[in-house]
């Protein structure tokens, strides 16, 4: 099992309707390909944890990379695991900005959020903490 975490910036015209589209398609496709994970969105920045068979994760990231609904993607890290972290979530989603900020501060000790500066371990901790309060 491989996990990959990336961050990206939403495109200017990525609104609620666009998000619903992304989540609906992603849920269906992820179920089909055995991908699980969690997407965090603070209104501007995405932070996405995906896990599954290595080849499926690489293929999905390749698709996501070419999606015009976001830009400036940065891989924060990848890992190989024996077990899934989000086995029950084909596409978890969380967009509570104040909770994101609060949890970010707790994990990094920093007040100015800079998602791109997180390392893999911090990003994984942030996402798994947030998944518990969805």
Ligand X SMILES: Cc1cc2nc3c(=O)[nH]c(=O)nc-3n(C[C@H](O)[C@H](O)[C@H](O)COP(=O)(O)O)c2cc1C
Q: Give the interface segment with ligand X, choosing from 67-75, 81-89, 113-121, 123-131 (CB under 6 A).
A: 67-75
User: In this structure, what token pair is assigned to residue 3?
Assistant: 């996990």
Out of 25, 101, 133, 134, name the contact with ligand X by CB under 6 A: 25
Helix (H, G, I), strand (E, B) or coil at 123: helix
Taking a C-beta distance cutoff of 8 angstroms, is the pair 123, 77 a contact?
A: yes
Out of 4, 5, 22, 127, name the contact with ligand X by CB under 6 A: 22
Cβ neighbour number for residue 93 with a 10 Å cutoff: 18
Q: Give the interface segment with ligand X, choosing from 59-67, 95-103, 105-113, 121-129 (CB under 6 A).
A: 59-67
Q: Does 60 bind ligand X (CB under 6 A)?
A: yes
Q: Does 29 bind ligand X (CB under 6 A)?
A: yes
Closest CA to 45 of 127, 115, 111: 115
CB of 68 to ligand X, least distance (A): 8
Report the alpha-carbon distance of residue 68 to residue 51 in Å, rounded.
Answer: 22
Considering the complex, state which of residue 17 and residue 111 has its C-beta at the smaller distance from ligand X. Answer: 17
């Amino acid at each position: 099992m491989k996990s990959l975490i990336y961050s990206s910036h939403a495109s200017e015209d990525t609104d609620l309707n666009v998000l619903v589209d992304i989540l609906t398609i992603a849920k269906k496709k992820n179920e089909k390909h055995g991908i699980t994970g969690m997407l965090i969105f603070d209104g501007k920045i995405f932070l996405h944890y995906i896990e599954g068979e290595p080849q499926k994760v690489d293929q999905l990231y390749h698709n996501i990379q070419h999606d015009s609904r976001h830009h400036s993607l940065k891989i924060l890290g990848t890992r190989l695991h024996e077990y899934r972290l989000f086995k029950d979530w084909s596409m978890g989603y969380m967009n509570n900005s104040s909770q994101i900020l609060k949890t970010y501060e707790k994990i990094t000790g920093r007040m100015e959020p800079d998602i791109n500066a997180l390392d893999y371990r911090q990003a994984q901790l942030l996402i798994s903490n947030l998944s518990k309060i969805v």
